[in-house]
Amino acid sequence: MKLLRSLEGLSADVRGGAVTVGNFDGVHHGHAEIVRQLRDQARRVGGPAVVFTFDPHPAWILRPQSAPTPLTWTDRKAALLEELGVDVLVAYPTDEALLNLTAREFFDRILVGALGAKALVEGTNFCFGHDRVGTIDVLRGFAAETGISLDAVEPIRFAGDVVSSSRIRQAIAAGDIAEAGRLLTRPYRIRGLVRHGAARGAKLGFPTANVDGVDTLLPGPGVYAGRAWVKGKPWPAAVNIGPNPTFGEQALKIEAHLIDFAGNLYGELLELDFATQLRPVQKFAGLEELKTQLARDVAAAREAVKGMEG
């Protein structure tokens, strides 16, 4: 898959295909259905399946104080979309010039002019252009004028409700990582750098990697079963997110115990997939009680991640 960050000088192999526009944050099953139909249309017109997305989310430019915390970073989004069969991802740098384009200008300059779209695929709630005045019906009119086909994809529902990035954010923030995982095409993942911590875990027999600088949404406080990726290799992990009340600490931390791992992780970029929450954050009466619970957490995490998808 080609990952592009500009529309300048596009080669012929990325033009003249099927195009969809959206944030695609998280890459969930609703997105997967759009991509499935996008691929069908790309084959029909004999061109690439192209996703045009925004980096960052337009809300970070328009209303940064209330912008949603991302679920994925660009390279992760690209990998997930590539798995679904996307040929080209345009992660366009969002700026005011882009956001000030009218719906007609966006259609003419980007979809037709730059990408040479022969087919369009969008969700039925799609909006585009300045102030989001371009609805799916507006897009249908523009497409009809220019002879471009448009397929409008109905939302996917799971357990009675629409699958959406906002629904997934709510589940993650509440600690219901298993629910989020059912809505996403792959387990929810975060990344960060391993920094030095208090080294209490090592003294207890359960060394932890302290993960810092996470730039996506954190799961709510709790102890989770998951999987850590170190230089491309997965390790089962028990991950604590939240304060450490047993030691009188209230600061939020991300501490991952990589089961059976031996080695130095300081300064490494660590990626963590989440399977399920094992328990809430607790305060223990003493070190022995804490060690006993940590052993239980590790055993539960080892079992929970068996067969976990990538």
**pLDDT category, 248, cuts 50, 70, 90?**
low
**pLDDT (0 to 100) of residue 251:** 78
Tokens read off for 86? 């996307």
Host H or E run for residue 35: helix 29-45
**pLDDT (0 to 100) of residue 173:** 97
Residues 50, 14 contacting (CB under 8 angstroms): yes
**pLDDT (0 to 100) of residue 198:** 65
pLDDT 10s digits, 68-83: 999 999 999 999 999 9
> For residue 310, is pLDDT > 90?
no
Between residues 251 and 139, the one the model is more confident about? 139
DSSP 8-state class, residue 8 = T
Report all structural domains of the chain as residue ranges with CATH numbers, in order of start: 2-162 (3.40.50.620), 187-304 (2.40.30.30)
Q: Which amino acid is at 222?
A: G
> For residue 201, is pLDDT > 70?
no
Mean pLDDT of 15-38: 97
Between residues 250 and 209, the one the model is more confident about? 209
Burial category of 263 from C-beta neighbours within 10 Å (exposed 0-12, middle 13-18, buried 19 and up): exposed
Nearest to 52 by CA among 147, 309, 101, 272: 101
**pLDDT (0 to 100) of residue 294:** 93
Half-sphere exposure of 104 (CA within 13 A, CB side): 1
**pLDDT (0 to 100) of residue 206:** 87
Burial category of 144 from C-beta neighbours within 10 Å (exposed 0-12, middle 13-18, buried 19 and up): exposed
Percent of the chain with pLDDT over 70: 96
pTM: 0.94
- Angle (CA) 138 168 64, round 5°: 65
Q: Give the other-Cβ count within 10 Å of 17's Cβ.
A: 23
Q: How far apart are alpha carbons 211 and 203 in whole angstroms?
A: 18
Mean pLDDT of 180-186: 97
> For residue 281, is pLDDT > 80?
yes
**pLDDT category, 250, cuts 50, 70, 90?**
confident
**pLDDT (0 to 100) of residue 33:** 98
- Angle (CA) 111 25 109, round 5°: 15
**pLDDT category, 235, cuts 50, 70, 90?**
very high
Mean pLDDT of 158-182: 96
Q: How far apart are alpha carbons 97 and 1 in whole angstroms?
A: 27
**pLDDT (0 to 100) of residue 308:** 81
> For residue 283, is pLDDT > 90?
no
Host H or E run for residue 300: helix 287-304
> For residue 205, is pLDDT > 90?
no
> For residue 166, is pLDDT > 90?
yes
Residues 25, 83 contacting (CB under 8 angstroms): no
Q: How far apart are alpha carbons 3 and 23 in whole angstroms?
A: 15
pLDDT 10s digits, 98-113: 999 999 999 999 999 9
